[in-house]
Amino acid sequence: MQANRARYVIGNWKMNGSQQHVAAFFDRLSQVELPATEMVVCPPSIYLSQAAQILKPSSQIKLGAQDVSAHPPGAYTGQISASMLIEQGCRYAIVGHSERREYNKETDADVAAKFLAAKLAGLTPILCVGETHAQRLAEQTDKVVVSQLNSILSHHGADVFEGALLAYEPIWAIGTGLTATPEQAQAVHHLLRETIGGYDSSVAARLPILYGGSVKASNAAALFSMPDIDGALVGGASLQAEEFLAICESNK
């Protein structure tokens, strides 16, 4: 049975899109009756203000950033602070995406600092955790994801997860077309919830935990039927308005 938690579908466009794509995508979404699920789109930050102007603040669709600086405004070339993102109409921020951990060498400590900076400024952080294929084969999945979660949880407690989001994204499933089975994903989601529950069972029970890794309209419903899977963080499939809407539709 599904718990009474908010359900989410979050699109991560990564470094894709253009002004023309932003206009076409959000125009399409504003023409249809939207499914009753929380919908968030994270375009590249340079397009946030264009998207915000099309959407208007009252829109059911909210905007997120793919990253956020751990610092307040100042001498940090190339970075964008949480307050600047909020000014652009942004309400969410992904932190610790595996592509940033890998290509930008972000450590668990960097991710924790970004999570806290986002939270403190009033953005909803979306913390990503997940294992590599080698770690799964070596039966290290549980250890890896709990250690990534603990880099925040063991220092700051469960309270910082109140009003935040958690995403389990097995790295081997991101952009590969391979998806964790609903049972594999459920097992990790359950473990993550239990780990937070060890600190505060009511925060754990309320926390939406999303699955990410090659989610598309054809596999979303089976994932969403699992008791601890409250939605999805969607990469490639979130670039097409119809596909994104179809995934949202299966998460009502």
- The residue with tokens 């400590």 is 109
214 annotated ligand binder: yes
CB of 74 to ligand PEP, least distance (A): 29
Per the annotation, the verdict on 190 as an active-site residue is: no
For the chain, helix, strand, coil in percent to 5 are 50, 15, 35
Token pair listed for 142? 């549980």
Which range of residues in 116-124, 181-189, 219-227, 228-236 is near ligand PEP by CB under 6 A?
A: 228-236
Task: Give yes or no for a contact between 126 and 167, defined as CB atoms under 8 angstroms apart.
Answer: yes
User: CA 10 to CA 92: how far, in whole Å?
Assistant: 10
172 annotated ligand binder: no
Neighbour tally for 1: CB within 10 Å? 4
Measured from the CB atom, is 135 or 214 closer to ligand PEP?
214
Beta-carbon contacts of 58 under 8 Å, excluding residues fewer than 6 positions away, are none
Check binding of 65 to ligand PEP (CB under 6 A). no
User: CA 121 to CA 84: how far, in whole Å?
Assistant: 10
Check binding of 233 to ligand PEP (CB under 6 A). yes
Which range of residues in 81-89, 158-166, 192-200, 211-219 is near ligand PEP by CB under 6 A?
A: 211-219
Measured from the CB atom, is 174 or 223 closer to ligand PEP?
174
Per the annotation, the verdict on 155 as an active-site residue is: no
Task: Please pick, among 97, 99, 106, 131, the residue that the annotation labels catalytic.
Answer: 97
Binding region for ligand PEP (CB under 6 A): 12, 14, 169, 174-175, 212-215, 233-237
